[in-house]
C-alpha cells in the first residue's frame, strides 16, 4: 500500500502537475486510510486486497467521527483517484472505490463582512511600522483582488504590474488568471515596497516573494492566518472571520454593486459557474432583509 501511495503521489506531481496543496491533502487522506486499516484490522492491506465493503465501513467511520460532508466528499474523491490509478497500473484488478456514493454537500452560505467592517479591518495595521505597512498591503490586496491565501503567498514581485493595476495569479490546478487591483491596494503596496527588505542570502525564489516575513523570506499561509487573527481582534469583528472571508466579501460586494455573475466567476478563478452562484444567495438574502425591514406591506398583517 505504501509503495502504491508513493507511486500515486509521484504520478500526481509529474503527470497531473498537481499543486503542493493537493498533493498534501491527498497524501494526508491516504495516510488516514492506512491508519484506519491498521486500527481496525491490525495491518495495512495491499491495494488488491481492499474491497468495497471495507471502504464503505471506512466512510461510515468518517461520518461517525463527525467529519464535515465536504471533507468526506474530498476523501472519497481521493480514494477513487487512487484506486483508479492502481487499477490502471495493474496493482489491483478493479476500482473498489468506484461504487461509493458522494454525500450531498450542504448549502452553507459564506460568512462575509459589510463594507464598513472591511474598512475597520483595513485600517487596523499601524502605518508607522514596517510590518503594519505590509499587513495593510496584504489585506488590501486580498480584498481588492479576491485572492485565496495560497494565491497571495505565492505572489512574486514579477507578478505585479503597478502601471496597469493588475496582478498575475496562479490559482487552483495551477490555472493562471489576471486580477485587477484597485487604487487603495496599489497605494498600500507602494508603501510596503518602499520598506520591503528581502534576505539577500536566501534563494532567488524567496527574494522574489512579494510579501515577506520579518526575516526577509516568503510568508506562509499560517502566518497570514495569525496576522489576520490579530487584526480581527483589534477591529472587534466576528471570530468567524478568516482569510477566506475577504474573498467572500469581495464577491458579495461585487454582486451587490451590480457586477454580473460571469465576471465574478472570472475574477474569482472559479472553474464552474455553480461555485460562484452561492454568492447570489447571499445577495438575495440581503435584499430580502432590506425589503422586509423597509417595505410597509412586507410584514404579515396582524388582526387586532
Q: Is 183 exposed, middle or buried (0-12, 13-18, 19+ CB in 10 A)?
A: exposed
The reply to whether 302 falls in a domain is: no
The reply to whether 108 falls in a domain is: no
The reply to whether 93 falls in a domain is: no
Backbone φ, ψ for residue 167 (5° rounding): -135, 140
The reply to whether 299 falls in a domain is: no
The enclosing domain of 31 has a CATH number of 1.10.150.130
* Beta-bridge mates of residue 156: 209
Boundary (domain end) residue, out of 46, 71, 88: 88
The reply to whether 127 and 61 lie within a common domain is: no
The reply to whether 73 and 123 lie within a common domain is: no
The reply to whether 186 and 134 lie within a common domain is: yes
Q: Record the cell numbers describing residue 164, joined without a space.
A: 496597469
Where does the chain have alpha helices with state H?
Answer: 2-14, 20-41, 52-64, 69-88, 115-122, 130-145, 149-153, 183-195, 204-207, 221-235, 243-256, 261-268, 273-276, 278-294
The reply to whether 83 and 119 lie within a common domain is: no
Give the model confidence (pLDDT) of 152-183 as tens digits.
999 999 999 999 999 999 888 778 899 999 99
The reply to whether 58 and 151 lie within a common domain is: no
Is residue 247 annotated as a catalytic residue, yes or no? Answer: yes
The reply to whether 49 falls in a domain is: yes
Q: With CA atoms as reference, report the closest residue to 285 among 148, 111, 106, 105.
A: 111
The reply to whether 147 and 252 lie within a common domain is: yes
Q: How many CB atoms are closer than 10 A to CB 190?
A: 12
pLDDT for 17 beyond 70: yes
Residue predicted with more confidence, 68 or 3 = 3
**Annotated catalytic residue within 196, 247, 248, 253:** 247
Q: Record the cell numbers describing residue 95, joined without a space.
A: 476500482
The reply to whether 65 and 122 lie within a common domain is: no
Distances (CA, A) of 22 to 80, 82, 171: 15, 13, 12
pLDDT value of position 22: 87
The reply to whether 149 and 279 lie within a common domain is: yes
CB-based contacts of 211: which residues, under 8 Å, 6+ apart?
Answer: 134, 137, 138, 152, 153, 155, 192, 218, 219
The reply to whether 67 falls in a domain is: yes
Is residue 177 annotated as a catalytic residue, yes or no? Answer: no
**Annotated catalytic residue within 56, 177, 270, 286:** 270
**Annotated catalytic residue within 74, 172, 177, 286:** 172
CB 181 within 8 A of CB 141: yes
Confidence of residue 297 (pLDDT cuts 50, 70, 90): low
The reply to whether 48 and 150 lie within a common domain is: no
Is residue 111 annotated as a catalytic residue, yes or no? Answer: no
Q: DSSP string spanning 140-155?
A: HHHHHHT--HHHHHT-
The reply to whether 32 falls in a domain is: yes
The enclosing domain of 172 has a CATH number of 1.10.443.10
Is residue 270 annotated as a catalytic residue, yes or no? Answer: yes
Is residue 24 annotated as a catalytic residue, yes or no? Answer: no
pLDDT value of position 304: 42
The reply to whether 266 and 120 lie within a common domain is: yes
Is residue 120 annotated as a catalytic residue, yes or no? Answer: no
> Which H helix or E strand runs over 200?
none
pLDDT value of position 293: 74
Give the model confidence (pLDDT) of 26-56 as tens digits.
999 999 999 999 888 788 999 999 999 999 9
- Percent of the chain whose pLDDT exceeds 70: 91
Boundary (domain end) residue, out of 88, 103, 125: 88
The reply to whether 17 and 160 lie within a common domain is: no
The reply to whether 23 falls in a domain is: yes
**Annotated catalytic residue within 148, 196, 231, 253:** 148
Instruction: Give the chain's domain count.
Output: 2
Give the angle subtended at the CA of 253 by the CAs of 247 and 254, to the nearest 5°.
90
Give the model confidence (pLDDT) of 129-150 as tens digits.
999 999 999 999 999 999 999 9
Backbone φ, ψ for residue 301 (5° rounding): -70, 135
Q: Which domain holds residue 68?
A: 2-88
CB 243 within 8 A of CB 168: no
The reply to whether 272 and 126 lie within a common domain is: yes
Amino acid at each position: 500500500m505504501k509503495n502504491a501511495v508513493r507511486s500515486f503521489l509521484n504520478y500526481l506531481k509529474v503527470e497531473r502537475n498537481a499543486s503542493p496543496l493537493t498533493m498534501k491533502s491527498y497524501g494526508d487522506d491516504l495516510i488516514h486510510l492506512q491508519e484506519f486499516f491498521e486500527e481496525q484490522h491490525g495491518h495495512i492491506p495491499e491495494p488488491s486486497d481492499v474491497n468495497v465493503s471495507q471502504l464503505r465501513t471506512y466512510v461510515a467511520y468518517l461520518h461517525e467521527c463527525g467529519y464535515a460532508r465536504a471533507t468526506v466528499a474530498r476523501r472519497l474523491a481521493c480514494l477513487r483517484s487512487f484506486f483508479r490509478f492502481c487499477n490502471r497500473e495493474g496493482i489491483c484488478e478493479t476500482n473498489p472505490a468506484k461504487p461509493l456514493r458522494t454525500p450531498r454537500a450542504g448549502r452553507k452560505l459564506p460568512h462575509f463582512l459589510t463594507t464598513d467592517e472591511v474598512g475597520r479591518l483595513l485600517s487596523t495595521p499601524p502605518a508607522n511600522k514596517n510590518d503594519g505597512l505590509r499587513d495593510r498591503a496584504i489585506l488590501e490586496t486580498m480584498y481588492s483582488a479576491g485572492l485565496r491565501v495560497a494565491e497571495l503567498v505565492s505572489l512574486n514581485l514579477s507578478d505585479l504590474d503597478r502601471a496597469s493595476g493588475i496582478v498575475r495569479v496562479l490559482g487552483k490546478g495551477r490555472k493562471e488568471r489576471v486580477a485587477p487591483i484597485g487604487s487603495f491596494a496599489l497605494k498600500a503596496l507602494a508603501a510596503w515596497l518602499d520598506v520591503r527588505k528581502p534576505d539577500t542570502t536566501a534563494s532567488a525564489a524567496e527574494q522574489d516573494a512579494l510579501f515577506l516575513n520579518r526575516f526577509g523570506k516568503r510568508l506562509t499561509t499560517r502566518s497570514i492566518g495569525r496576522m489576520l487573527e490579530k487584526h480581527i481582534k483589534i477591529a472587534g469583528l466576528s471570530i468567524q472571520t478568516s482569510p477566506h472571508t475577504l474573498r467572500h466579501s469581495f464577491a458579495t460586494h461585487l454582486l451587490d454593486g451590480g457586477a454580473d455573475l460571469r465576471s465574478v466567476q472570472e475574477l474569482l478563478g472559479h472553474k464552474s459557474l455553480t461555485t460562484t452562484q452561492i454568492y447570489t444567495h447571499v445577495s438575495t438574502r440581503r435584499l430580502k432583509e432590506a425589503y422586509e425591514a423597509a417595505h410597509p406591506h412586507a410584514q404579515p398583517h396582524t388582526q387586532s
